[in-house]
């Protein structure tokens, strides 16, 4: 067989894994990447004075099938340190009062049991008839409300539980009342322990990228602006796929794998593909939704919230401020806030840093507020917004310099055109056949030698994750290998 030449559009984890599989089977691979770096949404910043991930941090250890996740394996191979959280929580009610520990623990246990029940309910409905028994307008929060009515007799506690359910927003990047119940089974939230990379993802990325960096041709700073592909005129003839870049180059390939994010495809597919994509893929692009997740890191001179604790590791890893009524001037919509305590990591990754996760409208508000501002102004705006929350942590004293942030870093994916101004795909109320939409991507347009991979084309319960993106690239690579095996 003469050496076949495959173009991979995008050097995120899915494109890198796809290239790896193809290269290991003797294919020639050219990667075209619009950014000046590889990694896509896997990306670090030095903005706090040390390296942090501005994209993914979490790793799931095991898949539903009981196999270790590929990214977990890469973390093990690279000796990337992973943090196991202590599972303790600190919750402030709407008035800023700390909930008693017993109540927090009891309601949190009930909440996760209900969420797990909702996932099983959604899965069973899917297996029965594609989920048609669940109205497409029904949300995960609707389910939680109904079950809370049955389980929690005290009205005040019930209301608290429903407020606590909003924490689900930080998993999927959208409010829990927008999460489709019919497709809740496609969200990977109940699949075993999730660990946090306590250093950063760079060694994992470097290992995944090694084959491509060694053996593929990589064009950075080059954006694909056109892809022309036609079915072959006869089963024995072949039709090359033509790719045009923003530098005006035109290149031809045997196969093209498009890993551009869903959000980017939503905005550009109609001008990118000639002829237009088949209707089923076009409707998948329009039906699947996008989430907005952003991270805001606050680094302090010392972890003041742990001052005087006999065992610092006993401090709750997670703090949640439920629908705050006490910050109306900066947060009139009462968006709940939450942090993870990064000062609990083992050395040398222990820093006096807390990490806020934002989602939905709150992300858009914060990013619009800071985008284009000077670093000093960003710092001031972010501190004004988040101080009402971190100032409720134990040990806070406005006069103590240890309680004043020395560095603040906020991500702005919402303004990043190349990730589609979003964080990842998700399944919101209204979607009718999300599984079939994902399948349409996965199938691609084989007859036009056009393939899709990325987190939006991942195995069902891995969509939106690094592992899912990696596996989708692997799957497309293998299918192309098999195609040529069957043709030879």
Ligand X SMILES: Cc1cc2nc3c(=O)[nH]c(=O)nc-3n(C[C@H](O)[C@H](O)[C@H](O)COP(=O)(O)OP(=O)(O)OC[C@H]3O[C@@H](n4cnc5c(N)ncnc54)[C@H](O)[C@@H]3O)c2cc1C
Binding site for ligand X (CB under 6 A): 9-15, 32-35, 40-42, 55-58, 223-224, 259-261, 264, 293, 295, 411, 413, 418-419, 423-424, 454-455, 464-467, 469
Report the residue number, 144 or 205, with the smaller CB distance to ligand X: 205
Cβ 20 to ligand X shortest distance, Å: 13
Whether the Cβ atoms of residue 358 and residue 127 lie closer than 8 Å to each other:
no
Residue among 54 and 181 whose Cβ is closer to ligand X: 54
List the Cα angle 326/330/331 in 5-degree steps: 65
Structural element, H or E, at residue 466: helix 466-487
Residue identified by tokens 């030879």 is 488
Q: Look up residue 97 and give its DSSP letter.
A: P
Q: Which two tokens stand for residue 320?
A: 């949640």
Query: Residue 14 corresponds to which tokens in the numbers above?
Result: 């899915």
Q: Which is nearer to ligand X, 31 or 429 (CB)?
A: 31
Least CB distance to ligand X at residue 347 (A): 22
The set of residues, in sequence order, having a beta carbon less than 8 Å from that of 72 and lying 6+ positions away, is 59, 60, 61, 62, 195, 467
Q: Which is nearer to ligand X, 181 or 205 (CB)?
A: 205
CB of 379 to ligand X, least distance (A): 20
**Min separation Cβ 2 and ligand X, Å:** 27
Query: How many whole angstroms separate alpha carbon 285 and alpha carbon 425?
Result: 10
Alpha helices in 356-449 (DSSP H): 360-370, 375-390, 434-443
Q: Least Å distance between CB 258 and ligand X?
A: 8
- Nearer CB in complex with ligand X: 449/456: 456
Least gap, CB of 419 to ligand X (angstroms): 5
CA distance 141 to 143: 5
Minimum distance from residue 293 beta carbon to ligand X (Å): 5
Tokens of 201: 């993802």
The Cα 394–Cα 391 span in angstroms is 8
CB 362 within 8 A of CB 386: no
Closest to ligand X by CB, 35 or 449 = 35
Closest separation between CB of residue 315 and ligand X, Å?
22
60 φ, ψ to 5°?
A: -90, 135
Q: At what angle do helices 279-287 and 434-443 cross, to 10 degrees?
A: 130
Between 162 and 243, CB nearer to ligand X: 243
Q: Look up residue 384 and give its two tokens.
A: 């004004």
Smaller CB separation from ligand X, 61 or 114: 61
């Amino acid at each position: 067989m003469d050496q076949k030449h495959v173009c991979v559009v995008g050097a995120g984890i899915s494109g890198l894994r796809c290239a790896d599989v193809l290269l290991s089977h003797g294919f020639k691979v050219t990667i075209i990447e619009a950014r000046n770096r590889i990694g896509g949404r896997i990306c670090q910043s030095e903005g706090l004075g040390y390296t942090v991930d501005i994209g993914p941090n979490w790793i799931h250890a095991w898949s539903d099938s009981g196999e270790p996740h590929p990214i977990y394996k890469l973390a093990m191979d690279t000796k990337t340190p992973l943090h196991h959280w202590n599972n303790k929580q600190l919750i402030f009610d709407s008035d800023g009062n700390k909930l008693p520990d017993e109540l927090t623990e009891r309601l949190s246990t009930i909440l996760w049991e209900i969420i797990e029940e909702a996932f099983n309910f959604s899965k069973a409905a899917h297996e029965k008839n594609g989920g048609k028994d669940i109205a497409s307008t029904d949300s995960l929060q609707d389910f939680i409300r109904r079950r809370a009515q049955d389980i929690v007799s005290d009205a005040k506690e019930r209301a608290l539980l429903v407020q606590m359910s909003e924490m689900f927003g930080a998993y999927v990047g959208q409010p829990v009342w927008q999460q489709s119940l019919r497709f809740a089974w496609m969200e990977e939230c109940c699949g075993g322990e999730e660990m946090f990379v306590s250093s950063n993802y760079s060694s994992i990325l470097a290992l995944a990228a090694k084959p491509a960096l060694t053996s593929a041709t990589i064009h950075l700073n080059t954006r694909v602006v056109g892809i022309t592909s036609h079915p072959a005129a006869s089963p024995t003839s072949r039709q090359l796929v033509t790719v045009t870049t923003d530098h005006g180059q035109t290149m031809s390939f045997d196969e093209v794998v498009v890993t551009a994010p869903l959000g980017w495809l939503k905005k550009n597919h109609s001008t990118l593909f000639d002829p237009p994509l088949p209707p089923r893929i076009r409707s998948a692009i329009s039906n699947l939704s996008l989430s907005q997740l952003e991270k805001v890191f606050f680094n302090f001179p010392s972890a003041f919230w742990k001052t005087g604790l006999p065992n610092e590791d006993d401090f709750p890893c997670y703090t949640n401020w439920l629908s705050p009524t006490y910050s109306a001037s900066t947060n009139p919509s009462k968006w709940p806030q939450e942090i993870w305590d990064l000062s609990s990591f083992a050395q040398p990754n222990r820093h006096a840093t807390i990490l806020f996760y934002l989602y939905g409208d709150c992300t858009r508000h914060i990013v619009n507020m800071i985008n284009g501002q000077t670093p000093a102004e960003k710092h001031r705006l972010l501190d004004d917004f988040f101080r009402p929350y971190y100032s409720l942590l134990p040990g806070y004293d406005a006069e103590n310099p240890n309680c004043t942030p020395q560095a603040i870093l906020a991500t702005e994916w919402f303004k990043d055109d190349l990730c589609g101004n979003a964080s990842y795909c998700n399944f919101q109320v209204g979607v009718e056949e999300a599984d079939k939409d994902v399948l349409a991507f996965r199938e691609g347009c084989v007859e036009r030698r056009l393939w899709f991979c990325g987190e939006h084309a991942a195995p069902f319960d891995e969509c939106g994750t690094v592992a899912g993106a990696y596996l989708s690239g692997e799957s497309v690579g293998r299918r192309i290998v098999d195609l040529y095996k069957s043709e030879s």
